[in-house]
């Protein structure tokens, strides 16, 4: 699982599109996440909440912080 924190920005969108060439296991995390690719998983979380962030990245192989 590749998890993108701060998933609503331009950089996150481009990263998600690029990752889709390598994997279908992409998780988008932000306060109001949106899918970029049809198979994306979305998780709503406030990144200032350490517990919510820990839960959001659980099971991830790689985490990208682009917030």
What pLDDT is recorded for position 54? 98
Distance CA(44)–CA(34), nearest Å, equals 9
For the chain, the structural domain boundaries read: 2-65
Quickly name the fold that domain 2-65 has. Answer: Rossmann fold (3.40.50)
pTM metric for this prediction: 0.93
* DSSP output for 11-63: HHHHHHHHHTTT-S-EEEEESS---SSTT-EEEE--TT-HHHHHHHHTT-SEE
Give the model's confidence band at 67: pLDDT under 50 very low, under 70 low, under 90 confident, else very high.
Answer: confident
Distance CA(9)–CA(18), nearest Å, equals 14
| Residue 63, pLDDT above cutoff 90 | yes
pLDDT in tens, 7-48: 999 999 999 999 999 999 999 999 999 999 999 999 999 999
Closest by CA position to 25, among listed 10, 37, 11: 37
What pLDDT is recorded for position 35? 94
């Amino acid at each position: 699982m590749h998890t993108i924190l701060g998933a609503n920005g331009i950089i996150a969108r481009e990263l998600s599109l690029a990752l889709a060439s390598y994997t279908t296991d992409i998780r988008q995390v932000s306060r109001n996440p949106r899918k970029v690719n049809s198979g994306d998983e979305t998780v709503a979380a406030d990144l200032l909440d350490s517990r919510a962030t820990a839960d959001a990245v659980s099971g991830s192989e790689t985490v990208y912080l682009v917030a």
